Structure 1
Amino acid sequence: MARRMWTLFEPVHAVTYFHPRARAAFEAVGLRGYWRGYFAGRAAPLGPVDAPTVTAAFFSFAPPMVARALPSVWRLATPEEALRARLTGAVQALAEFTYELPESHLVEAAELLEEAAGRVDMAGRVLGAVNAALPRGEYPLARLWQAAATLREHRGDGHVAALVTTGLEPVEVVAWRCRVDQSREFHQPARGWTDEQWSAAEERLVEKGWLTPEREPTAHATETFRSIEDATDRAASGPWRALGAERTARLRELLDPIASRCRTIIPPQAPIGLPAQRSAGVTLPG
């Protein structure tokens, strides 16, 4: 259930990274360039934080890539301005995808997703907690997106915590995944790792038993990562137990057409880990 619900609220949250209206909203407050908007928008609930804090919280990015954006983005836009921009852009994007749906559909979806987001355990989930603490939106689409953002970051916090137990470094996690079912050509520049760092990471993965000398995933690694995914799902299951099976099923019905439309603007190789629709998969922290 936790995995299925994630595939429905994650696309709602992700419009803020991929929709042209969301990009335009960031640019309107001075955050030109994709990564300025990404780092400022996602980090803004934390306040005017510096690069080491965001590198630790986001997990999979190379430190120099984060340092190119932070803390300098706060000279272009304050966290408050970044928060307004990301919500404005997300609402405009969602309005484009949902204009054919009745308002009652959106209101009910927002209310149920808000209730689920209000049931999460925030202990140890910093990004989830700071998003949950933001003011409640005035309109259904704002409330829907904010609830999706809280649940997404809550799940991501739990996933990072589970990944830490493997003893792998962030670059090793990304490099291993790209030997499983992702593209190094896409993911390496998207996370900022150099060729030297990537090659060294693969060598360490061989030493640690996660890759064979031929750079194929080992059975041990596949089984270990599956256990990490199971732990991620367990840590994210609380809201759905609290909401109950019947109301969770209703929320699935309401989110399904919204999520399907949101997914149309998410690139197939986007490093947020979404599996193909209606199927299960493994995730990367995004």
Structure 2
Amino acid sequence: MNGARRLWALGEPFHALTYFADEARVAFRDAGLHGFWAGYFAGRAAPLGPVGPQLVTATFASFAPAFVARRVPEVWTTTPPEAALAARLAGVDAAVQRALPGWAGSADCVEAASLAREAAAAVDVPGRPLAAANAALPWPDQPHLLLWQALTTLREHRGDGHLASLLQHELLGLPALVLTAAAGTTSAEWLQRARGWSPEEWAAAGDALTDRGLVSGEELTAEGRAVRAAVEDDTDRLAQGPWAALGDAGCDRLAELLGPVRHAIVAIGDWPAHNPIGVPEPA
């Protein structure tokens, strides 16, 4: 497995505590963000500032515009970005104390945070708005939160590159979701509901991909599999820079440190098996 892909697969469950852990939902609620999606959009968009729905739709890319507009910019009327940023760290802090008792502040945690920070400091931000916004935030003092912020910056850097590849292949937005569902990574019903697209919009996108020869029925064609593989290869290549800066030894050590963390989060159910993120099992 490509080094960038392996470290994404290992680190994503730790980042995703901010989406799936009960403590994260409580922290967002306490900050005035009621309901999962209010916390999600405010927490993820907060590094960008009090942005409107057009920018969130553009940078997140997979959500239906109307779905975004039902939450943004209303979330900023109850919770300014600085409060959302504080809430996401508070939620992750509480989740780590439960999921990984005794680990925060340990030698392994401190070392993982140092390595991840070194990689995150090397992200190239031109053309990568979410990576740039997260890279501009101050580093938390506590090592487990520093690790979270570094992994978040790196995964948004990867995501920005992924969108660039999808745009090049004329798949950005809904077509990418339909292609993912046809690949069997995540169910079409789940993706459609979780990203706010209507059945009619989903069907129209499927018809367009069929016309392009990428989908037949509900399955990928050979050409569809090739295009999807090309997108993933592009994404891995575009994500490699920070990990190359860290070096092979640093990457291997960080992978070693993240393995038990990922295992603990998966074991207690804070990484749902059927989620729309589509992260592979680490090799």
Q: Same fold (TM over 0.5)?
A: yes
Are the equivalent residues in 1 in contact too, given 2:46–2:82 (CA < 8 A)?
yes
Equivalent residue number for residue 117 of structure 1: 120
Are the equivalent residues in 2 in contact too, given 1:13–1:149 (CA < 8 A)?
yes
Equivalent residue number for residue 66 of structure 2: 64
Are the equivalent residues in 2 in contact too, given 1:95–1:141 (CA < 8 A)?
no
Identify unmatched segments of 5+ residues in structure 1.
280-286
Structure-2 separation of matches of 1:226 and 1:180:
11
TM-score, length-scaled by structure 2: 0.95
Q: Deviations over 1:115-167 (max 9, x none)?
A: 11111111111100100110110111110110011001000000000000111
1:169 offset after TM fit, Å?
4.4
Structure-2 separation of matches of 1:227 and 1:179:
16
Map 1:252-267 → 2, pairs under 5 A? 252-263=255-266, 264-267=269-272
Go from structure 1 to structure 2 and tell me whether the alpha carbon gap of 1:200 and 1:216 turns closer, same or farther (over 3 Å shift): same
Are the equivalent residues in 1 in contact too, given 2:10–2:255 (CA < 8 A)?
yes
Are the equivalent residues in 2 in contact too, given 1:175–1:198 (CA < 8 A)?
yes
1:246 offset after TM fit, Å?
1.2
Equivalent residue number for residue 147 of structure 2: 144
Equivalent residue number for residue 284 of structure 1: none
Identify unmatched segments of 5+ residues in structure 2.
none
Count the aligned residue pairs.
277
Structure 2 residue 275 is matched with structure 1 residue 270: yes
Structure-2 separation of matches of 1:130 and 1:239:
16
Equivalent residue number for residue 99 of structure 2: 97
Equivalent residue number for residue 57 of structure 2: 55
Equivalent residue number for residue 201 of structure 1: 205
TM-score, length-scaled by structure 1: 0.94
Structure-2 separation of matches of 1:39 and 1:148:
18
Structure-1 separation of matches of 2:195 and 2:141:
35
Map 1:19-98 → 2, pairs under 5 A? 19-98=21-100
- Code of the residue aligned with 1:210 in structure 2: it is L
SS at match of 2:39: helix
1:265 offset after TM fit, Å?
1.1
Structure 2 residue 10 is matched with structure 1 residue 5: no
- Code of the residue aligned with 1:129 in structure 2: it is A
Where has structure 1 moved over 4 Å in runs of 4 or more?
none
- Code of the residue aligned with 1:140 in structure 2: it is P
Structure 2 residue 277 is matched with structure 1 residue 245: no
- Percentage identity across aligned positions? 48
Are the equivalent residues in 2 in contact too, given 1:91–1:145 (CA < 8 A)?
no
Are the equivalent residues in 2 in contact too, given 1:206–1:215 (CA < 8 A)?
no
